Amino acid sequence: MNEKRDSLFSELKQIKTKLEEISISDLFNSNPKRFDDFSVSLDDMIFDYSKLHINKDVLSKLFDVAKICEVEEKRDAMCRGDKINITENRAVLHTALRNDINKPIYVDGKNIMPDVAQVLEKMKAFATDIRSGKILSSSNEKFTDIVNIGIGGSHLGPEMVAKALSPYCDGPKVHFVSNVDSSHISDTIKQLNPATTLVIVASKTFTTIETMTNANSAKKWLVNSLGEKAANLHFAALSTALEKTKAFGICDDRVFGFWDWVGGRYSIWSAIGLSVMLAIGAEDFQEFLNGAYEMDEHFKTTPLEQNMPIILGLIGIWHTNICDYATRAILPYDERLSRFTAYVQQLDMESNGKRVTSSGEEVQVKTGSIVWGEAGTNSQHSFFQLLHQGTNIVPCEFMLAVNNHEDDMKIHNDLLIANCLAQSQALMNGRDINEVIQILKENGLNEEEIAKLSPHKVFKGNRPSSTLMYKRLNPKTLGKIIALYEHRVFVEGAIWNLDSFDQWGVELGKELATKMLSHLQDSNTDKENMDASSIGLLNTIKSWNEDK
Ligand code: F6P
């Protein structure tokens, strides 16, 4: 399979060399239907990839790559519950969490859908009762604030979604604590009243050191103020490790479980979404799940040529493996998606930042693009200089909501949209030297001044970008967008032949941090095999430590 894929990659590289003779804007000039040919829609969402440097030959070869790499077969294997997470011997079934309850999915011969439905119902009942005040705090008050303590997938998803859906948040105010840095929990709880705060400990494993340290500090805060017994009424847990949640002192009816076939970075649809449900309500959360379900159905049933996640994934392959672009920028012109890039960083880079294939061989092609970005228009006043005139080409993924939620602020929306469209246009068309000289002449500059200034004002253009545009960022649309990005990661991982669902790369650092902690707490530990830099830093820390 890899040889056939790599030979298609070689053919694609040849096509690319020829294509370099034609600019993206010339591709538009020679095909008036280019926008139609290179865009795909799903309901109220359109993905426009016509401003990429591709043509029909490129696309058709990329579809061949998808076929050779059996992307559709692998997708079907994932969705029916095959154990495609080889290194952990686990199924990968985040799609089950938003599946129609009546469509069975089997893991180890058992239909998992009744369990999925049961936890979802338990979450809905709990969220509804907290929001209505049926469940009260230990002092018989309504909960006003929720603190979600979790990290990685147990944080990035809930935080991003809560922010994205803030116009729909009409429940208790949700706060997020993730970093083990004491400032994070301390700055969060100091603004809160313990008597009306519910702390949710979100951890798939319930062992993650950052989360458990923060959870213990939160417990101390609650116990100090409310007493041990009352404090327990201010906790809930989201985890697969039910015996550990019990040991922490959280009663079973406040524990919301999930399963080992839900990866951390794919867990927003599971009990991990409880803080979001508390904020937006059960109905809107269901809409969020429905949106993802619609994208799943599209992914599962649409032919390659119109399949949005497959097209996104193949574009990723084009940019990483054929064009050799190491990074890509995600640019949501949608302030409420300002945490989306951070979310996709975990989703994409923890999934596909791998150097061996599923079967353990070194990969022979580049994998895992580096994702970065910022919400527009802030990004324009920051790194767009490099995007327009730097020597690195960075494919840009614009995201744009056509309607805002602020009816009386149309001018903001018009400006936002205008900027987004203008940036993708500027990246593609650029501005050549003749136009620059003409403008400078019109501005009254003399020849010497023009010669000095003009090179700095040239934009070479021909820089690729795509635009994902949607009517409005509502729960359903957000569900679709996240599922789209999940499946895109899947498609790339399938082509690279990776296990996109493990994350061994995070383990070594965790292990060493545990050892380092013992060196920090006891300066007499054996440091014989330690490098001189670490010893030097430890010694300096010891001499600077003001607690000593
Ligand atoms: O950083 C590694 C990781 O395992 C992520 O995959 C996961 O989302 C995060 O830690 C948190 O894990 P847990 O939910 O088990 O606390």
Angle subtended at Cα 198 by Cα 192 and Cα 199, rounded to the nearest 5 degrees: 95
- Check: CB of residue 156 under 8 Å from CB of residue 211: no
* Among 340, 258, 267, residue whose Cα is nearest residue 95: 267
Substitution site in 506, 507, 508, 511 for ligand 1 pocket (most atoms within 8 Å of beta carbon): 506
Atom index in ligand 1 nearest the CA of residue 153 equals: 8
CA distance 288 to 293: 9
Nearest-5° angle of CA 508, CA 514, CA 517? 135
CA of 537 to the centre of ligand 1 (A): 28
Compute how many other C-beta atoms are within 10 angstroms of the C-beta atom of residue 528: 5
- Whether 175 is catalytic is no
Dist. CA 410 → ligand 1 center (Å): 41
Residue minimizing CA distance to atom 6 of ligand 1: 264
Q: Evaluate: CB of 153 within 6 angstroms of ligand 1.
A: yes
Instruction: Give me 506's structure tokens.
Output: 């995070």
**E strands along 364-419, which residues?**
370-373, 396-403
Q: Active-site residue 361, yes or no?
A: no
What does the H/E/C string look like for 334-368? CHHHCCHHHHHHHHHHHHHCCCECCCCCECCCCCC
Rounded CA separation 62/323 (Å): 13
Check if 151 has its Cβ closer than 6 Å to any atom of ligand 1. Answer: yes
Residue of 220, 366, 410, 510 with catalytic role: 510
Looking at the whole model, is its pTM more than 0.95?
yes
pLDDT (tens place) for every residue of the chain, 548 residues total = 789 999 999 999 999 999 999 999 999 999 999 999 999 999 999 999 999 999 999 999 999 999 999 999 999 999 999 999 999 999 999 999 999 999 999 999 999 999 999 999 999 999 999 999 999 999 999 999 999 999 999 999 999 999 999 999 999 999 999 999 999 999 999 999 999 999 999 999 999 999 999 999 999 999 999 999 999 999 999 999 989 999 999 999 999 999 999 999 999 999 999 999 999 999 999 999 999 999 999 999 999 999 999 999 999 999 999 999 999 999 999 999 999 999 999 999 999 999 999 999 999 999 999 999 999 899 999 999 999 999 999 999 999 999 999 989 999 999 999 999 999 999 999 999 999 999 999 999 999 999 999 999 999 999 999 999 999 999 999 999 999 999 999 999 999 999 999 999 999 999 999 999 999 998 888 988 999 999 999 999 999 987 65
Terminal CA-to-CA distance of the chain, rounded, Å? Answer: 61
Nearby residues of 359 by Cβ (< 8 Å), 6 or more positions away: 86, 497
Q: Is 203 in the pocket of ligand 1 (CB under 6 A)?
A: yes
* Catalytic residue (choose from 4, 13, 381, 452): 381
Rg (CA), the chain: 26
Active site residue 350: yes
* Residue 205 Cα to ligand 1 middle (Å): 8
DSSP state of 205: S
DSSP class of 240: S
Q: Which atom of ligand 1 has the smallest separation from the CA of 210?
A: 16
**What is d(CA 40, CA 524) in angstroms, rounded to the nearest whole number?**
63
Tell me which residue has its CA closest to atom 3 in ligand 1. Answer: 152
The Cα 98–Cα 298 span in angstroms is 14
Kindly state if the Cβ of 265 falls inside 6 Å of ligand 1.
yes
**Residues with Cβ < 8 Å from 347, sequence gap 6 or more?**
265, 266, 485, 486, 489
Q: Say which of 350, 374, 397, 486 is annotated catalytic.
A: 350
How many Å lie between the centroid of ligand 1 and the Cα of residue 152? 5
Place of tokens 């995201």: 399
Closest ligand 1 atom to residue 156 Cα is 8
Residue nearest to atom 2 of ligand 1 (CA): 506
Q: Where are the alpha helices (DSSP H) in 193-307?
A: 209-226, 228-232, 242-248, 274-280, 282-301
3-state secondary structure at position 444: coil
